[in-house]
Amino acid sequence: MQLTLWTYEGPSHIGAMRVATGMKGLHFVLHAPQGDTYADLLFTMIERRQERPPVTYTTFQARDLGTDTAEIFKTAARDAFERFQPRAMIVGSSCTAELLQDDPGGLARALALPVPVIPVELSAYSKKENWGAAETFYRLTRTLSGVRRERPQRERPLANLLGPTALGFRHRDDVLEITKLLNTLGVDVNVTAPMGATPDELTLLGEADFNVVLYPEIALPAAQYLEKAHGQPYTKTVPIGVGATRDFIAEVRALANLPEGAVLPESKLPWWSRSVDSTYLTGKRVFIFGDGTHVLAAERIAREEMGFDVVGLGTYSREFARDVRECAKRHNIEALITDDYLDVEAAISAAHPDLVLGTQMERHIAKRLRLPCTVISSPAHVQDFPARYAPQMGFEGANVIFDSWVHPLMMGLEEHLLGMFREDSEFHEGASHLGASSAPAPATPQRAVPAAAVSAAPAAAATPLDPQWSDEAARELKKIPFFVRGKARGNTEKYARERGLTTISVGTLYDAKAHYGR
């Protein structure tokens, strides 16, 4: 274990909490010291849940270590059942409690509670949050899904949606978007799990014709078990981005034996990416870091749909290290596989990207480096659990992604131009879109000028040092974009003065452009 100020994943019991908190009628009894109750805040503060997670902590203290801590666990488990009356329970230990070797699973079985009690071995010192969520969901699926059963022929196929949990990045909205997409294709959703499901509904998992794996880092072990035990195939494509969503639709049609023909919604992302307004985005350098699922999806979107150059790619999900390394080879870069945010910061600094796509930590890093950033993955903070509908999956998710990626770049361009050309005289010729704040400063009162100096002024104005613009050249100058027009005017006048020209023609304007463009 490593002492750090920031971690991309919590310990594995946080993953188990994400599964329990997302479900209904499931209670988690966690053998843990008093300090581990901090985890409640992840859900009530960051995800803004209205109720505490369904978790009972044994909360043993230092003075209890010389007594029977096993009895503390049994009392907590018995009291939790009597108080909450869950339909099923899971039991496990935090990293500290693992050292006691109290065996929560065996202790819970000895209580002979009248509901299923599923022990979860969380391996807290070697595994982390996403693994803990995957292991917990796998154990629940294996215990509760029952035996293989015959599935009747249906007019509309049934699918399970697997993988969404509490505290997941946009999981709530992804489920809604993919449910709508499947319904449009002619597929009904049987069970969505773990988020929103009850233990009783997990017994119905085997009735579906196939499974949709939304988040492989959580759902893949359960989907592989269901394929083996119940004969249910599962999807391999995560529908994030326009191309991936189209591939997902084709995969669903093949698994469900669906004909072509359903009229589907489309995303605006491809049109915007081809439009004149987006030519500024082409070739932008982007650095991508996060969980494996969202990193792989973001790389494809950046490469195929946005025209970005990927200059950095990495993940903290070591289970996806091989996939991310293969993906990085397309860009002739070495993938960054790490859970140390200092390594990520050094890599971003060295890559000099125009945009960072990452987690909440990369947002902080980008802010220090004065780079635009969009959060695309957990871990995320409260602002990335919006009240509005903001999926990442499906065609509507592609629209959300386009907006969230492009806006930081365009705002960065606007701020850059405002800072560079704010004092340019072209901003002050008549009304300005910058408003009163950019109006020219009031003229400074001038002292009286001696008559001799006044009489000499016309002669000075007629010197070759101040070349005059011809009407044709002035009209040509106005065709130059406003934010570089002042620079073009200054360069042309300098070019004319150096050559003793008294009049600037269109030819002089283009000669100056060629001269300074070398």
Q: Which residues are annotated as a binding site for substrate?
A: 412-413
Ordered DSSP codes for 366-420: HHHHT--EEE-SSS--GGGS-SS---SSHHHHHHHHHHHHHHHHHHHHHHHHHHH
> In the structure encoding, which two tokens stand for residue 89, read together?
């329970």
Q: What Cα–Cα distance (Å) separates residue 494 from each residue in 461, 500, 508, 513?
A: 16, 10, 11, 11
> In the structure encoding, which two tokens stand for residue 328, read together?
């990085």
Peptide bond into 54 cis (omega under 30): no
Report the DSSP beta bridge partners of residue 158: 188
Which residue matches tokens 């990495």?
A: 314
Pairwise CA distance, residues 404 & 398, whole Å: 10
First to last CA, the chain: 57
Report the DSSP beta bridge partners of residue 55: 28
For this structure, is 277 an active site residue?
A: yes
Query: What residue numbers does the annotated binding site for [4Fe-4S] cluster cover?
Result: 36
Pairwise CA distance, residues 357 & 402, whole Å: 12
Q: Using an 8 Å Cβ cutoff, are 311 and 353 in contact?
A: yes
Pairwise CA distance, residues 390 & 19, whole Å: 22
Pairwise CA distance, residues 353 & 131, whole Å: 31
Pairwise CA distance, residues 7 & 344, whole Å: 12
What is the radius of gyration, based on Cα positions, of the chain? 32
> In the structure encoding, which two tokens stand for residue 313, read together?
């790619």
Active-site choice (277, 323, 354, 511): 277
Amino acid at 196: G
Of residues 49, 88, 94, 48, the one with CA closest to residue 73: 94
Of residues 91, 115, 83, the one with CA closest to residue 31: 91
Report the DSSP beta bridge partners of residue 29: 56, 91
Active site (catalytic) residues: 277
